[in-house]
Amino acid sequence: MKVLWFAWLRTRVGTAEETLTPPAEVRDVRTLLDWLKQRSPGHAEALKNLSVVRVAVNQTYVQPDHPVAAGDEVAIFPPVTGG
Amino acid sequence: MKVLWFAWLRTRVGTAEETLTPPAEVRDVRTLLDWLKQRSPGHAEALKNLSVVRVAVNQTYVQPDHPVAAGDEVAIFPPVTGG
Amino acid sequence: MIRVQREDFDVGAELKALTAGRHEIGGAVTFVGLVRDMAGDSKIGAMTLEHYPGMTEKQLAEIEAEAKKRWPLSASLIVHRYGRLEPGEQIVLVITASAHREAAFEACHFLIDWLKTKAPFWKLEDTDQGAQWVAAEARDDKAAERWTKP
Amino acid sequence: MIRVQREDFDVGAELKALTAGRHEIGGAVTFVGLVRDMAGDSKIGAMTLEHYPGMTEKQLAEIEAEAKKRWPLSASLIVHRYGRLEPGEQIVLVITASAHREAAFEACHFLIDWLKTKAPFWKLEDTDQGAQWVAAEARDDKAAERWTKP
């Protein structure tokens, strides 16, 4: 699984991209975020307030109950500010 | 008084501009239009249906009760279709 | 700013000139009106725009002043052409610029709606059924009414 | 059409290319977003736009498709820049063209409102108080909500 971080989430985590193999109990976005929080203090800090965290799986916005699988590209980022 | 005609009113009347000296009973736009109707069959035709006639005195839109005087520039035209 | 001219205009150049050095501007909205090749069922070869020199400039300036009173605009521009125009040619340009996009959108829409019912221009269309003066559209009156205060 | 690019764009040239030969078009509405020199009380020296290549194009294409479903558009274009931009520089271009101006105005307004809350771009502002990631504005969410069907 590829995990991408953007904007200030990226600066907190300290990397733009990670290739990870989550354990079997990670089935959806919610459980993935819980697992990611434990990877480092930076991850924990980035994911402290999930109300300002958006997730896309394979480049489509998803909700916390959306399933995640081994081959997915999961992007984690703050609310967008383009335009 | 200068009377200007535009668009299809101009083509009916047959002239773009007339310099006129209306009689004393012409005091406002309404009485001016009544008097103009009698100038020629073209004038009568142009002013047959006043619901599609707009009048500006000195380049400002006015209503039928607006006064007119000797030095005025009176423009008579159909509803505008620019833009 | 307002301009009434026979010549074409360059939208990009006008926009650049209007916003140059005005770094408080966050958004600019532009409307360009173009000559269509059909009017109802008639094919249009060309059209001629007649106007009332003097009153046109006065009306456009009044309409622009009204927009500036209603919205916090940093800059605005109206350019209206007259004379003979062929399908695809540009007729009118309205640009409004503001710190925020809402004001720019509303003011631009207002300007073209009001201009359509107030600026003394008349279109003579050269159609396959002969030359015809374009009739004012009830739709345009309705669009303009939307902006009159209650 | 959508484009995501580092380079600047020429509004006049884009508009010309989009409407060329399309003589059913009666009006084109253009929105240009510009970099402002102030954010609240902070002076901005420059900003850097980060985006998510791949998803950006996908989101913009979806937003454009939604506008085409809702309004009878003859043509549309979204160009969004990324990278470092200084105050006064152009960030985003939206053009919508239609037979009638109402559709063009509404679709253009819709596109920029939706783009602001859906396209994966993030602004890092270089202010006199240091580099700061721009926070999403509740105002933008509200503007976008206006277009969600009941």
Query: Quick check: is C117 in a domain?
Result: yes
In terms of CA atoms, which chain C residue is nearest residue B55? C120
Residue A60 with chain D: CB contacts under 8 Å: 58
The three-class DSSP label of residue A63 is coil
**A54-63 confidence digits (pLDDT tens):** 999 999 999 9
Residue B80 with chain C: CB contacts under 8 Å: 116-122, 136
Query: Quick check: is D105 in a domain?
Result: yes
Return d(Cα D111, Cα B75) in angstroms, integer: 43
pLDDT of residue D149: 65
pLDDT of residue C150: 57
CB contact under 8 A, D121 and A82: yes
Range of the domain at D55: 2-145
**C59-73 confidence digits (pLDDT tens):** 999 999 999 999 999
pLDDT of residue C138: 86
For residues D124-135, give the mean pLDDT. 92
The full DSSP string for chain C is -EEEESS---HHHHHHHHHTT-TT--EEEEEEEE--SEETTEEEEEEEEEE-TTHHHHHHHHHHHHHHHHS-EEEEEEEEE-EEE-TT-EEEEEEEEESSHHHHHHHHHHHHHHHHHHS-EEEEEEETTEEEEPPPPHHHHHHHHTTS--
Residue B6 with chain C: CB contacts under 8 Å: 50, 52, 120, 122
Measure in Å the smallest separation between the Cα of A14 and chain D Cα atoms.
Answer: 15
Does the model's ipTM exceed the 0.85 cut?
yes
Tokens of residue D22, six digits: 């399309």
Measure in Å the smallest separation between the Cα of C115 and chain B Cα atoms.
Answer: 7
For residues B51-80, give the mean pLDDT. 97
When the pLDDT of each residue in chain A is averaged and rounded to a whole number, the result is 97
**D78-129 confidence digits (pLDDT tens):** 999 999 999 999 999 999 999 999 999 999 999 999 999 999 999 999 988 8
Q: Residue A17: how many CB atoms within 10 A of its CB?
A: 11
Which of left, alpha, beta for C71 (phi over 0: left; psi -120 to 50: alpha)?
beta
Listed in order, strand segments (DSSP E) in D54-105 are 73-81, 83-85, 90-98
Tokens of residue A43, six digits: 């991850």
pLDDT of residue C149: 66
Q: Does C36 touch chain D (CB under 8 A)?
A: yes
pLDDT of residue B68: 98
Give percent of chain B with pLDDT exceeding 70.
100
CB contact under 8 A, B80 and C91: no
**C76-126 confidence digits (pLDDT tens):** 999 999 999 999 999 999 999 999 999 999 999 999 999 999 999 999 999
Query: Quick check: is D139 in a domain?
Result: yes
Q: Does D39 touch chain C (CB under 8 A)?
A: no
In terms of CA atoms, which chain D residue is nearest residue A8? D133
Number of domains in chain C: 1
Query: Quick check: is C150 in a domain?
Result: no
pLDDT of residue C126: 94
CB contact under 8 A, D32 and C30: yes
pLDDT of residue D138: 86
Looking at the predicted structure, is the pLDDT value of residue B17 above 70?
yes
Give percent of chain C with pLDDT exceeding 90.
85
Longest dimension (CA), chain A: 39
How many residues in chain A? Answer: 83
CB contact under 8 A, B6 and C50: yes
| Domains of chain A (ranges, CATH numbers) | 2-77 (3.10.20.30)
Query: Quick check: is D67 in a domain?
Result: yes
Instruction: Give the H or E element holding residue B57.
Output: strand B54-57
Q: Does B4 touch chain C (CB under 8 A)?
A: yes
Query: Quick check: is D11 in a domain?
Result: yes
Query: Quick check: is D150 in a domain?
Result: no
Looking at the predicted structure, is the pLDDT value of residue C48 above 70?
yes
Residue C80 with chain B: CB contacts under 8 Å: 82-83
Q: Which pLDDT tens digits describe chain A residue by residue (83 residues)?
A: 999 999 999 999 999 999 999 999 999 999 999 999 999 999 999 999 999 999 999 999 999 999 999 999 999 999 999 99
Are A6 and A59 within 8 A, CB to CB? no
CB contact under 8 A, D119 and A80: yes
Question: In a mutagenesis test of the A interface, which of D35, D44, D55 is the best target, namely the one with the most A β-carbons within 10 Å?
Answer: D55
Residues 23-82 of B with CB under 8 A from C: 56, 59-61, 75, 77-82
Minimum-distance CB partner of D34 among C19, C31, C109: C19
For residue D118, CA distances in Å to A55, A82, D88, D112 come to: 12, 9, 24, 10
Residue C49 with chain B: CB contacts under 8 Å: 82
pLDDT of residue D150: 57
pLDDT of residue D38: 86
For residue C80, CA distances in Å to C6, C89, C121, D14 come to: 8, 12, 9, 21
What's D124's domain CATH number? Answer: 3.90.1170.40
CB contact under 8 A, C101 and D22: no
When the pLDDT of each residue in chain C is averaged and rounded to a whole number, the result is 95
Tokens of residue D146, six digits: 């206006």
Residue A67 DSSP class: B
> Which is nearest to C63 in space by CA: C72, C82, C76?
C76
> Which is nearest to D108 in space by CA: C90, C97, C102?
C102
